[in-house]
Amino acid sequence: MNIVRVIANELNVKENQVEKTIELIDSGNTIPFIARYRKEVTGGLSDEVLRNLDERLKYLRNLEERKGEVRNSIENQGKLTEEIEKSLESATTLADVEDIYRPYKQKKKTRATVAKAKGLEPLAKIIIEQKEERDIEEIAKEYLTEEVTTVEDALQGAKDIIAEDISDDAEYRKQIKKIYYREGIIHTKNAKEENPTYSMYNDYSEKISTIPSHRILAINRGENEEFLKVSLEKPVDKIIGLIAKIVIKNPRYEKILLETIEDSFKRLIEPSLDREIRSDLTEKADKQAIEVFGKNAKQLLLGAPLKGLTVLGFDPAYRTGCKLAVIDETGKVLDTGVVYPTEPQNDIEGAEKELIRLIAKDNIQMIAIGNGTASRESEIFVSNTLKKVKEQFNKDVYYTIVSEAGASVYSASKLATEEYPDLNVSLRGAISIARRLQDPLAEFVKIDPKAIGIGQYQHDVDQKKLFESLTGVVEDAVNTVGVDVNTATASLLSYVSGINKTIAKNIVKYRDENGKLKERKELLKIPKLGNVAYEQCAGFIRIPGGNNPLEITAVHPESYEAAEKLLNKIGYKKEDLLEKDKLEEIRKKLSGVKVKELSKELDIGEMTLEDIIKELSKPGRDPREDMPKPILRNDVLKFEDLQEEMVLTGTVRNVIDFGAFVDIGVKHDGLVHISELSNKFVKKPSDIVSIGDIVKVRVIGIDKERQKVKLSMKNIG
């Protein structure tokens, strides 16, 4: 197999792009580094394409390795033929390879192996060849022994051998799988008492070829929880007829071979292929769910930070009280506390007094309210209190609802204990909620991505693949933004290209002992951070207030000389980047640069030069500034206020296969079904909306009993 050609065709890129990228990967370069600093080599492949390329490369190399193992095993048995060689060469999946290997695998005790041990293989051969014109019973008598005492036993043993051979035949399995996928139906029904969650799946049928991923995962979950029974319906007569047409050549043998084929299918092929098809469907569904989860996670991580504000994190609860934590614009904890405005205490007066005191004392500008238990009651309380703050102090303070998913996981984590050893576990959650508003990326990297409550069925999918995918997503997000080496936590630093957890801790330790780093080169003094790691990480590290103004940008040290020559060419030096007036002039002059000509003069690639120009035009710019800012509120919308056809502004909180959930300011997020996302046909909701998007929606359905809202993004003026 030509791996390079296969990947190039799959990803619709050129073979030399794949070839060069594989060389970079094999040399130990990370995907973020390749995507950002080796564009000329890869032809500008994006981090997403590079991740897919890397994943396929691993799979196809694994496939080739397995082919080699299978080939050697069959050869050692003296059974390798040219036909098997060709089959292995053309196999494109591991499942295909295992099907080819099936007849040659060392088998445990089966009915066929028992029959072979009794010497019945020659009889099976006579029956399958169908050349003898004598009665089959007459032939069978020649194989009677002390172990095989009757003709029936002899024939049954021969049939068992033939049945296993048929079930092991790779070509039969391939053809039968095609029939499954073309005509098979997945059927579900209640396994025991009805469960409302799975009510739609009682006596439910859908074609295997069209069932969407989210339904496969829902059915799997229902089956695992023992609420559903699942079966695959397939045209059995057609399948048996397909095998019979190939196997039966002599009418004298029709009866015995038809019985054998039916037994082979029912006893061996059907259970095995049912499992295989279910596994294939699950794998496909997992892949799609992980993809959706990854896109959502990236959008969440790249959410716009609200910088320069003092924020109060408000973690709602009932019995144990609402936890408060005030953090300043740098994330430092100023105050913590607990108030009881909710049931059963209902101490609204005392809670109000404490909240107003903290707002005045710490000059709080923003309140971040967690969206969990008692969130609605807390929102009403905060909104009413802020009105009084406006009346008493003529001060505008706003609030916003923040996802608190994973806050409790973080609160009890080892990392949270190290960060806040003197604070109660419950108060750490309020700090996390506040910090998510200030800097979503820095806060969310502390939490297992599975716990951040986006996507669907993330606990049901292949956990190893999910972990690998999400690690890649977090790496790409962190390296897209860049990291201030002097303020970043070890958890954030560990996602920087070339930096592992050990090096990240060493950086923090070095910083604590020696003070702030002044230049990127100083990283080489960090234990275990050598030249290779430095090359990978340097461009993603930011050093505001350091010795070199280029180090607040993503310009890599290998391009410093070119960047300075570029600035000199337009009449400036790197220090001018820090002066506001001169920066405006630099921007104008850079916008008129002729990239093609200058790239030759500076001996640097055009794509790299374009990136340098972007960086020098906006030094220190956070790419997240372009993302939608959170909706800030100072009044509350009650569920009872909702009316059909009302148009509202909301924030997309989750994007799944069948639509998007939008926070419109009532207790539960409303659902925009995939059919209501656009006037045009929508294949994937993620093509239309992303987490964090601010969207206009129209109320099209209100379920007062279940407090659910149906929304539409269609036909909004």
On whether both 521 and 597 belong to a single domain, the answer is: yes
On whether both 419 and 515 belong to a single domain, the answer is: no
DSSP single-letter state for residue 308:
T
On whether both 74 and 158 belong to a single domain, the answer is: no
* R_g over Cα of the chain: 33
Look at residue 657 in the predicted model and tell me its pLDDT: 86
Q: Is residue 398 part of a domain?
A: yes
> b/e map of 676-715 (b: 16 or more CB within 10 Å)?
bbbeeebeebbebbbbbbebebbbbebeeeeeebbbbbee
CB 108 within 8 A of CB 230: no
On whether both 521 and 616 belong to a single domain, the answer is: yes
Asked which of 420, 438, 456 is the last residue of a domain, the reply is 438
On whether both 55 and 115 belong to a single domain, the answer is: no
On whether both 17 and 126 belong to a single domain, the answer is: no
On whether both 426 and 357 belong to a single domain, the answer is: yes
Q: Is residue 565 part of a domain?
A: yes
The CATH number for 357's domain is 3.30.420.140
Please give the biggest Cα pair distance in the chain. 109
The CATH number for 660's domain is 2.40.50.140
Identify the H or E element spanning 654: strand 647-656
On whether both 622 and 648 belong to a single domain, the answer is: no
Q: Is residue 397 part of a domain?
A: yes
Q: Show the tokens assigned to 428.
A: 């750490």
Among residues 329, 397, 411, 410, which one has the least CA distance to residue 369? 397
CB 302 within 8 A of CB 285: no
On whether both 617 and 687 belong to a single domain, the answer is: no
Per run of 10 residues, the mean pLDDT along the chain (length 717 residues) is: 95 97 96 96 94 95 96 94 93 93 89 94 95 91 93 96 94 94 95 84 94 92 93 96 94 94 96 95 91 86 89 95 94 94 94 96 94 87 93 91 84 88 90 91 84 74 86 92 93 95 95 95 96 97 95 96 94 92 91 91 93 93 82 74 86 88 85 92 90 89 88 87
Among residues 37, 32, 64, which one has the least CA distance to residue 50? 32
CB 30 within 8 A of CB 537: no
In three-state secondary structure terms, 518 is coil
The CATH number for 585's domain is 1.10.150.310
pTM: 0.82
Look at residue 275 in the predicted model and tell me its pLDDT: 95
Q: Show the tokens assigned to 589.
A: 């002059």
Q: Are strands 322-327 and 333-339 parallel, antiparallel or unpaired?
A: antiparallel
Q: Is residue 220 part of a domain?
A: no
On whether both 569 and 652 belong to a single domain, the answer is: no
Q: Is residue 499 part of a domain?
A: no
Identify the H or E element spanning 649: strand 647-656
On whether both 544 and 620 belong to a single domain, the answer is: yes
CB 18 within 8 A of CB 7: yes
Q: What is the dihedral of CA 235, 239, 242, 248, to 10 degrees?
A: -130
Look at residue 371 in the predicted model and tell me its pLDDT: 84
DSSP single-letter state for residue 266:
I
Q: Is residue 212 part of a domain?
A: no
* Rounded Cα–Cα distance for residues 4 and 13 (Å): 10
The CATH number for 67's domain is 1.10.10.650
Domain, as residue range, for 598:
505-626
- Sign, CA dihedral 475-477-479-484, equals negative
* Rounded Cα–Cα distance for residues 527 and 509 (Å): 10
* Rounded Cα–Cα distance for residues 96 and 177 (Å): 11
Asked which of 52, 87, 122 is the last residue of a domain, the reply is 87
Look at residue 136 in the predicted model and tell me its pLDDT: 92
Angle, vertex CA 96, rays to CA 95 and CA 102, nearest 5: 85
Q: Show the tokens assigned to 484.
A: 């201030």
On whether both 591 and 678 belong to a single domain, the answer is: no
Among residues 96, 154, 93, 91, which one has the least CA distance to residue 120? 154
Q: Is residue 184 part of a domain?
A: no
Residue 590 pairs with which residues in a beta bridge? Answer: none
* DSSP string computed for 362-413: HT--EEEEESSTTHHHHHHHHHHHHHHHHHHH----EEEEE--TTHHHHHTS
Q: Is residue 405 part of a domain?
A: yes
* DSSP string computed for 115-182: HHHTT-HHHHHHHHHT---S-HHHHHHTT--SS--SHHHHHHHHHHHHHHHHHH-HHHHHHHHHHHHH
Asked which of 412, 438, 464 is the last residue of a domain, the reply is 438
**In total, how many domains does the chain have?**
5
